[in-house]
Amino acid sequence: MIDDLFESLDSAGFGSNVHEVAAQGECRVLRLDDETGEAFMTMYRVFDGVYLMYNDFHLKSCVSEYQNADTVLCIDHCREGRIEHENTLGGRYYMESGDLRIDKRVHHDGTVELPLSHYHGITIGFMNGLSQAALRREMPSVDIDLDALAAKFCPGNKEFLLRVNETVNLIFSQLYHAPKDIRVDYFKVKIVELLLWLSVIDPAQHNEQRQYFPANQTERVKEIHSLITGSLEKTYTAEELSKISGMPPATLRKVFRAVYGAPIYQYIKSYKMKAAAAMLISEKQLSISEIAQRLGYDNASKFSAAFRDVMGTAPQNYRKRQEEM
């Protein structure tokens, strides 16, 4: 039973804002409540002291009350979305689709930000004592030293980041589509495969030098994001945004892309077209031209071209198709 991994959520270090909402056999479903949305974590006991957790977050931010519960190693993989982390020096960095992160969960409490308001991925956790003994007992012919892996990838309790690696993404792609009838046994095989791969690679040759950004810069960029998404009828110039943020245009562009994963104008174009798609369905009394004007387009033809570029079809066709459906 999973109780031999965590006697309670509190003893596991999750905190008061995480609650169990379902449990069956080796699986527990946890929910994190927050005023900006909700998050679900579906956790499976794989070995004693080893768990695999599917993370599905739909919120802007949340407070993590997680306290290290004797974790020797944690591996996170981002399937979709973005999540903001802060390193020990206060610099901020971002996980995006395809990224792998290894850490010891020493610095994991505080506010967690999701710039795109969603994050989906997998966490694999290994607890001190139990996990190493279980691996040696159940896989006696496989030589895996979790303490050695932790020392190799997380010296001084630092985090290790790996950007879009073909081998890693293949392993996790298979984990996301694990056959239901043999799910836990399948997890065992794939986790051991992942650990073996990690045991033979040199972190120095695979660790991408991810850029870290000062907190004051990322906070100013978030203010700019709130400004442009809160006034979709207005189009700001690069000079205006630079002046408002107090940052040089090049710095603003670089930090915005780091936080939100796209250049400013590409991001706002996509954001506006998705807002237009919602308006085409919910506000049927509005003409295409009226929707274009609400989104800062004086020219309906330019709006239609932008909509087609983002949504793959003309706004008229999109509305008609949704009505038929």
Dump pLDDT digits (tens) for 43-64: 999 999 999 999 999 999 887 7
pLDDT in tens, 286-308: 999 999 999 999 999 999 999 99
Please give the Cα distance from 236 to 121 (Å, whole number): 34
| Residue 11 confidence class, pLDDT cut points 50, 70, 90 | very low
Apex CA 212: angle with CA 209 and CA 218, to 5°?
150
Mean residue pLDDT of the chain comes to 88
- Residue 9: what pLDDT? 47
pLDDT above 70: percentage of residues in the chain: 90
- Strand ranges for 18-70 from DSSP E: 18-24, 27-34, 37-47, 50-58, 61-64
pLDDT above 90: percentage of residues in the chain: 68
- Residue 277: what pLDDT? 96
